[in-house]
Amino acid sequence: MSPTIDISDLGLDRGAHLLIKRALRNVAVGAKIGVRGSNAELGVHLPAWCRAQGHDVTRANGDDTWWIVRSPVEEGRWRGAELAGEANPQSAGAVADFPKASWGLAARGATVEAGAPAFQFALAAKDLLWAEEAAHLYQQALTAQWNPNDAIDWSAPCELADEIEDAVVQVMTYLIENENAALLVPARFLGQVHPHFREVVQLLSIQIADEARHVEVFTRRALLKRERMGVSTVGGQASLKTLFDENEFAVASFLLSVLGEGTFVALLHFLQEHAPDPVTRQIAKLTARDEARHVAFGMAHLQYQLKHDAGLKARLAAAVEHRYTALAQTSGLNEEVFDALVLLAAGEWSPNAIAVGFNKVQTLKDEMAQGRELRLSRLGFRDGEASRLAHLHTRNFM
Amino acid sequence: MRSQTLVMGAVAYAAKVVTIWDGFKEYFVKQGLEFDYVLYSNYERQVEALFDGTLHVAWNSPLAWVRAERIARARGAPVEAIVMRDSDCDLTSVVVVRSDSAIHSLADLKGKTVGVGAVDSPQATLIPLDYLRDRGVTPGTDFKVRRFDVLGGKHGDHIGGERDAAQALMAGEVDAACMIDGNHLLFVGEGTLPQGKTRVLAQTPQFDHCNFTVASTAPKDLIEKFRTLLLAMSYADAEVRPLLDLEGLKAWKPARTSGYRALEKAVDITQFYDATGNIRVADYRY
């Protein structure tokens, strides 16, 4: 006997179709259900709804029950649907090597109706951007987020001699320019990543948010005692432009994260130790922690891709060389920034103090080069090559 | 016209029509039927093209079918309806009033204003007005008709006229409004008609809507292939499903012409077309 439901006075304009669809799901295609109800417009809306859904509907004269025959339409709609991988990245085969364009924006692990439009993501191959550590790094990034209003004591004593304050403002101005690059370079790639690589999209997104926060705190520190920023130089922007114009994700993340941000971690540690005021030191400490995470993702991804892409190592080396050549005629780190760093480390104007400051900055540059060499070795560059490339890196640091 | 190409006419009542027929064209050609389509801005010119050799087949509104059939009879060049949508069968139209209205019977419409769709809309004008006339309330005599003419010549395919009438109902500009049953559900769903604020005063008997009308001169083999391909289209096929969704059907069905009687009668009474398919109605711009 065909099942019959009573939808009482509920109309199809108020959700009755949910009850009808539910009842239809419980019978086979071609089988009938009965629908009874007292809504005044049932006789208008039920046949119209059935017609739109492809179900036949009849009612015998004098009968108070409408009979709906379940059409094959709904079942047919899911024929050829496919599973877009698995949500849990730990499941075998969860992350496809080449997710389909037609999976589009669907959640990884969703059942995707056949015939969906193709989304042409330029970065749609696992080799091009995956890192096994991405999920873990994302979680780490989430728990390490900080609010500039609470994490930094903006009212801490910060009375510096005018020229020292000027030096701090110049360093902040320089940092903002570089952080703009660190924000926009991943942002330009983010929109090209197939969202199937959920963890990578999430991690890049939070990385971009990190940089937005860094731009904020550097700006706030610069304007703490001053109304105007420092200078921006042709050499500094020329260096960043060679990074900004890089079109390959792997090469860009190599130049940005492994070489640039890696170098910046050393610079921020330097500021954490030598900055003349507590606000700048706190800022340096917090931003260095974020930057270290960005370096970790760049390293993890490149280690993954280098395993699968035999030609990548040569492209990375060529990118450093190309950039070196392109920047050979520029002045390197702008003098204003270099002098400001020396002055910060000196803390005062006596010749002895300046000598000490100068040495500290020289030591910083050596440490930066050593750090780059170490990371290049971890990526599989032999000692001599790692050292050579480490020293070819832009003198602008980023 | 290349004799091996089936040429179909369709009326561009909305921009999506191009998407629909480009998609169908690609599908038919892939299935081995050379097919092309011509778009018309109105059904009148499309129907005429069925008889001047331009078209083999026309995707006709019910009113266009009625006219084609009259011209065909007059010229002794019979047309045939071959296929229609599942959603073209057994439609009804409704006359809707505000739920707090004092109109409770058709007789209460006397002296009132009834909003209808375009002059050439079977579902929102011709059929419901004839229904009321049959039941003793004559349009223009017993009640005033206020027409919401949107895109004349498109035979009411454009939903705008019905929506304008519905809005006028809620604004108090008309006392009742005519629309297709499914549009009442749609208008309530989208908020054009506030939920619970309208009442269905009357519902017409069932009638049918569009069909593919074939000219007597159309090549039989191409028409047969066209019919076979249409009827074989399955909603389970992801390639055609978006086209079926756009065209508003789940399956094509062999056409029947038994569902056009109410419209034929309305056309006669209003002298919309004469017996040989000439346009007689006044104020019809297309």
Question: What's the ipTM?
Answer: 0.91
CB within 8 A of A384, min separation 6: which ones? none
Q: What distance in Å separates residue B43's CA from the closest CA in chain A?
A: 24
> Hey, what are B43's tokens?
């059904």
φ, ψ dihedrals at A272, nearest 5°: -60, -35
**Which chain B residue has the Cα nearest residue A71?**
B250
Q: Does A114 touch chain B (CB under 8 A)?
A: yes
What pLDDT is recorded for position A61?
A: 85
> Hey, what are A184's tokens?
């926009």
CB within 8 A of B278, min separation 6: which ones? none
What pLDDT is recorded for position B3?
A: 55
Check whether B2 has a pLDDT greater than 60.
no
Partners of residue B200 in chain A, C-beta under 8 Å: 40-41, 44
Mutate to test the interface with A, among B192, B241, B243, B249 (most CBs of A within 10 A): B241
Check whether A328 has a pLDDT greater than 90.
no
Mutate to test the interface with B, among A9, A51, A77 (most CBs of B within 10 A): A51
What pLDDT is recorded for position A10?
A: 97
Q: What distance in Å separates residue A1's CA from the closest CA in chain B?
A: 27
Q: What distance in Å separates residue A51's CA from the closest CA in chain B?
A: 5
> Hey, what are A62's tokens?
């004098």
φ, ψ dihedrals at B76, nearest 5°: 65, 30
Length of chain B: 286
B:106-135 residues touching chain A, CB 8 A cutoff: none
pLDDT digits (tens, 9 = 90+) for A283-296: 999 999 999 999 99
Three state DSSP letters for A162-208: HHHHHHHHHHHHHHHHHHHHHHHHHHHHHCCECCCCHHHHHHHHHHH
Q: Does B235 touch chain A (CB under 8 A)?
A: yes
d(CA A182, CA A252): 10
What secondary structure letter does DSSP report for B140? T
Question: Taking residues A311-337, what's their average pLDDT?
Answer: 84
A379 vs A332, more confident: A379
Q: Half-sphere exposure of A158 toward its Cβ, with a 13 Å CA cutoff? A: 22
CB within 8 A of A247, min separation 6: which ones? none
Place of tokens 């296929």: B83
pTM for the structure as a whole: 0.82
Partners of residue A13 in chain B, C-beta under 8 Å: 185, 188-189, 195
B:181-200 residues touching chain A, CB 8 A cutoff: 181-182, 184-185, 188-189, 195, 199-200
Residue by residue, DSSP assigns A65-116 as -EEEEPPSHHHHHTTT-EE-S-SSTTSTT-S-SS--GGGTTPPTTPEEPTTP
Percent over 90 (pLDDT), chain B: 93
Query: pLDDT category, A333, cuts 50, 70, 90?
Result: low
Percent over 70 (pLDDT), chain A: 99
Mutual angle of helices A198-222 and A162-190, in 10-degree steps:
160
Percent over 90 (pLDDT), chain A: 86
Q: Do B185 and A44 make contact, defined as CB atoms within 8 angstroms?
A: yes
pLDDT digits (tens, 9 = 90+) for B110-151: 999 999 999 999 999 999 999 999 999 999 999 999 999 888
Of A13, A48, A80, the CB nearest to B238: A80
pLDDT digits (tens, 9 = 90+) for A222-250: 999 999 999 999 888 988 999 999 999 99
Check whether A327 has a pLDDT greater than 90.
no
d(CA A303, CA A131): 8
Q: Does A80 touch chain B (CB under 8 A)?
A: yes
Q: Do A40 and B199 make contact, defined as CB atoms within 8 angstroms?
A: yes
Of B185, B235, B241, the CB nearest to A45: B185
Would you tell me how many other CB atoms lie within 10 Å of the CB of residue A212? 13
Of A41, A48, A77, the CB nearest to B236: A77
d(CA B32, CA B43): 28
Mutate to test the interface with B, among A9, A10, A13, A42 (most CBs of B within 10 A): A13
CA A278 to chain centre: 30
* Count of pairs with CB atoms under 8 A, one residue in A, one in B: 70
Q: What distance in Å separates residue A201's CA from the closest CA in chain B?
A: 29
Query: pLDDT category, A102, cuts 50, 70, 90?
Result: very high
Query: pLDDT category, A30, cuts 50, 70, 90?
Result: very high
pLDDT digits (tens, 9 = 90+) for A69-81: 999 998 899 999 9
Q: Do A13 and B189 make contact, defined as CB atoms within 8 angstroms?
A: yes
Q: Are the C-beta atoms of residues B207 and B263 closer than 8 Å to each other?
A: yes
Torsion-angle region of residue B252: left (phi > 0), alpha (psi -120 to 50) or beta? beta
Query: SS3 of A12, please?
Result: helix
Of A12, A44, A77, the CB nearest to B94: A44
Would you tell me how many other CB atoms lie within 10 Å of the CB of residue A13? 22
What pLDDT is recorded for position A219?
A: 98
Query: SS3 of A6, please?
Result: strand
Residue by residue, DSSP assigns B228-249 as HHHHH--TT-TTTHHHHHHHT-
Question: Taking residues A334-354, what's their average pLDDT?
Answer: 90
d(CA A80, CA A78): 6
d(CA B147, CA B145): 6
Q: What distance in Å separates residue A8's CA from the closest CA in chain B?
A: 16
Check whether B85 has a pLDDT greater than 50.
yes
Strand partners, B207: B91
Query: pLDDT category, B1, cuts 50, 70, 90?
Result: very low
What pLDDT is recorded for position A334?
A: 73
Asked which of A373-387, B2-16, B170-184 is least confident by mean pLDDT, the reply is B2-16
Q: Are the C-beta atoms of residues B34 and B5 closer than 8 Å to each other?
A: yes
Partners of residue A44 in chain B, C-beta under 8 Å: 92, 94, 181, 184-185, 200, 203
